[in-house]
């Protein structure tokens, strides 16, 4: 009996060592992630990844640069500014919730210790609306894209700097959950996010070049020609999941919030350049 | 002559009646069977969803199978329900196989 107990104890300890040996820190993940692209596309400057597939597709880039001369997202920025400044029914405005002004992009997503959850910008905006007795905005389409376009425009040039506080294990757990989501196969096509945007970045899928994941979060919201309007990051997550034939999750639900937390962390050090324009 | 025609009519009524009754009973049996298949498919879908493994079209297939059942197209409804159940089972198995994080070997940690 004692021998069995000893053997079991040894097994448990060795299992822990295996787990510990496999566990990596966010900093190590970030380094491995960004180094992957450096090796894969040695001629691309790291900061150029903020331009998505156009950082690795010279022909597409020419077209995109022509589009950027008359940006299709401009009317959304103007509309967003109007929403930002328009008083709520109680006379307050978004500025009362966000006293530092609309250049908020670099502050989100972030870990909120009090709520023990990842707070995203759209969720914070809706919290502000609800706290002031207003109806929250829908998360994928409609006015949320206007105000996000305005905020993204005002935040241009800020550096992505997602922090994972070490004083709250919940933050690391949320990051790990987002990471797990990113590398998990799902849907009928059995694809993980990483299969398209990490392993096969730069490859052609039908007529499209698969964009690198590095820089994915810097340019949202995005005017997509396919949508004919501006759309949010979580709308894009939904689209990606549908494309691999998986049932998408709720926008700004826990799964996608944690995914955004991980994915944005992977772009730490890159400047924000939203709103963007894409095919 | 009259006796013959009464006998013939009675026979005809009996044949038609029993035929209709058989068809109706068969329909009920099929409807019940398909209903069970749809319920099983929905259970499988829910099991996959419980581990975040539901596939995109499973729910739609179940909805469509229910519509076909209402229309009386039992064969098509059963086929779709079976397909949905298979998706549910595969979605669950897939999620279970992905329970632990597996980092890709092409990511190099120094």
Q: Which of B55, B109, B110 lies at the smallest CB-CB distance from A245?
A: B55
Residue A230 β-bridge partners: A223
Residue of A15, A172, A186 to mutate for B, most B C-beta atoms under 10 A: A186
What whole-number distance in Å separates Cα of residue A224 and Cα of residue A231? 7
CATH of domain A25-69+161-278: 1.10.760.10
Contacts of B97 in chain A (CB under 8 A): 185
Query: What's the pLDDT at A137?
Result: 98
- Decide if A263 contacts A213 (C-beta within 8 A): yes
What ipTM was assigned to the predicted interfaces of this complex?
Answer: 0.86
pLDDT digits (tens, 9 = 90+) for B58-102: 999 999 999 999 999 999 999 999 999 999 999 999 999 999 999
B53 in any annotated domain: yes
Q: Under CATH, which architecture does the A74-154 domain have?
A: Orthogonal Bundle (1.10)
Residue A64, pLDDT above cutoff 70: yes
Residue of A28, A188, A202, A254 to mutate for B, most B C-beta atoms under 10 A: A188
Instruction: Give the residue numbers spanning the domain of B44.
Output: 40-99
Q: Tell me which DSSP letter residue A231 carries.
A: E
Contacts of A185 in chain B (CB under 8 A): 94, 97-98
- Decide if A140 contacts A238 (C-beta within 8 A): yes
- Decide if A181 contacts B90 (C-beta within 8 A): no
CA distances from A51 to A60, A168, A193, A231, A232 (A): 11, 34, 19, 17, 16
pLDDT digits (tens, 9 = 90+) for A112-140: 999 999 999 999 999 999 999 999 999 99
B23 in any annotated domain: no
- Decide if A268 contacts A160 (C-beta within 8 A): yes
Query: What's the pLDDT at A23?
Result: 84
- What confidence tier does A13 reach under pLDDT thresholds 50, 70, 90? very low
B62 in any annotated domain: yes
Query: What's the pLDDT at B9?
Result: 66
The 3-state DSSP class for residue A190 equals coil
Domain boundaries, chain A: 25-69+161-278, 74-154
Q: Same topology for domains A25-69+161-278 and A74-154, yes or no?
A: yes
Asked if residue A221 has a cis previous peptide bond (ω within 30° of 0), the answer is: yes
Query: What's the pLDDT at B17?
Result: 53
Q: What are the DSSP E strand ranges found in chain B? A: none
Query: Which is the catalytic residue, given A129, A172, A240, A244?
Result: A240
Q: Is A16 a catalytic residue?
A: no
B20 in any annotated domain: no
B27 in any annotated domain: no
Sign of CA pseudo-dihedral A194, A21, A258, A98 = negative
**Which residues, in sequence order, are CB contacts of B63 under 8 Å at separation 6+?**
none
Residue A153, pLDDT above cutoff 60: yes
Query: What's the pLDDT at B24?
Result: 57
Closest CA to A258 of A226, A236, A275, A234: A234
- Decide if B78 contacts B34 (C-beta within 8 A): yes
Query: What's the pLDDT at B14?
Result: 60
Share of chain A above pLDDT 90, in %: 91
Residue in chain A closest to B60 (alpha carbons) equals A247
Number of domains in chain B: 1
B1 in any annotated domain: no
Share of chain A above pLDDT 70, in %: 92
- Strands A208-209, A222-224: parallel, antiparallel or unpaired by DSSP? unpaired
What whole-number distance in Å separates Cα of residue A130 and Cα of residue A123? 10
pLDDT digits (tens, 9 = 90+) for A251-263: 999 999 999 999 9
b/e per residue, B40-72, with b = 16+ CB within 10 A?
Answer: bbbebbebbbeebbbbbbbbebbebbbebbeee
| More confident call, B19 vs A108 | A108
For chains A and B, count residue pairs whose Cβ atoms are closer than 8 Å: 64
Residue B12, pLDDT above cutoff 70: no
Residue A191 β-bridge partners: A186
Residue A218, pLDDT above cutoff 90: yes
- Decide if B45 contacts B84 (C-beta within 8 A): yes
Q: Which of A28, A180, A190 lies at the smallest CB-CB distance from B94?
A: A190
The 3-state DSSP class for residue A208 equals strand
Sign of CA pseudo-dihedral A118, A121, A123, A129 = positive
């Amino acid at each position: 009996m004692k021998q069995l107990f000893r053997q079991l104890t040894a097994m448990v300890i060795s299992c822990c060592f295996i787990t510990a040996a496999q566990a990596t820190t966010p900093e190590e993940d970030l380094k491995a992630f960004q180094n992957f692209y450096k090796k894969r596309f040695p001629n691309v400057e790291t900061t150029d990844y903020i331009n998505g597939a156009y950082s690795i597709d010279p022909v597409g880039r020419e077209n995109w640069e022509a589009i950027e001369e008359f940006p299709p997202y401009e009317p959304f920025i103007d509309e967003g500014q109007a929403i930002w400044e328009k008083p709520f029914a109680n006379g307050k405005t978004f500025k009362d919730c966000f006293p530092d002004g609309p250049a908020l992009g670099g502050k989100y997503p972030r870990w909120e210790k009090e709520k023990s959850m990842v707070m995203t910008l759209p969720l914070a905006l809706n919290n502000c609306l609800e706290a002031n007795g207003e109806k929250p905005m829908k998360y994928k389409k409609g006015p949320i894209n206007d105000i996000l376009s305005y905020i993204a425009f005002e935040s241009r040039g800020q550096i992505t700097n997602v922090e994972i506080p070490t004083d709250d294990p919940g933050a690391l757990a949320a990051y790990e959950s987002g990471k797990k989501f990113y590398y998990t196969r799902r849907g009928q096509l059995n694809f993980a996010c990483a299969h398209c945007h990490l392993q096969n970045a730069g490859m052609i899928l039908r007529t499209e070049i698969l964009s690198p994941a590095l820089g994915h979060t810097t340019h949202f919201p995005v005017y997509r020609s396919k949508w004919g309007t501006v759309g949010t990051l979580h709308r894009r997550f939904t689209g990606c999941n549908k494309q691999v034939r998986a049932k998408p999750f709720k926008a700004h639900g826990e799964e996608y919030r944690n995914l955004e937390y991980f994915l944005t962390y992977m772009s730490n050090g890159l400047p924000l350049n939203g709103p963007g324009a894409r095919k | 002559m009259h006796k013959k025609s009464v006998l013939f009519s009675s026979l005809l009524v009996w044949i038609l009646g029993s035929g209709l009754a058989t068809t109706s009973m068969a329909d009920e049996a099929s409807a019940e069977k398909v209903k069970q298949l749809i319920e099983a498919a929905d259970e499988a879908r829910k099991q996959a969803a419980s581990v975040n493994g539901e596939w995109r079209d499973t729910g739609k297939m179940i909805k469509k199978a229910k519509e076909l059942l209402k229309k009386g197209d039992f064969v098509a409804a059963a086929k779709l329900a079976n397909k949905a159940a298979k998706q549910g089972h595969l979605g669950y198995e897939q999620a279970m196989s992905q329970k632990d994080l597996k980092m890709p070997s092409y990511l190099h940690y120094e």
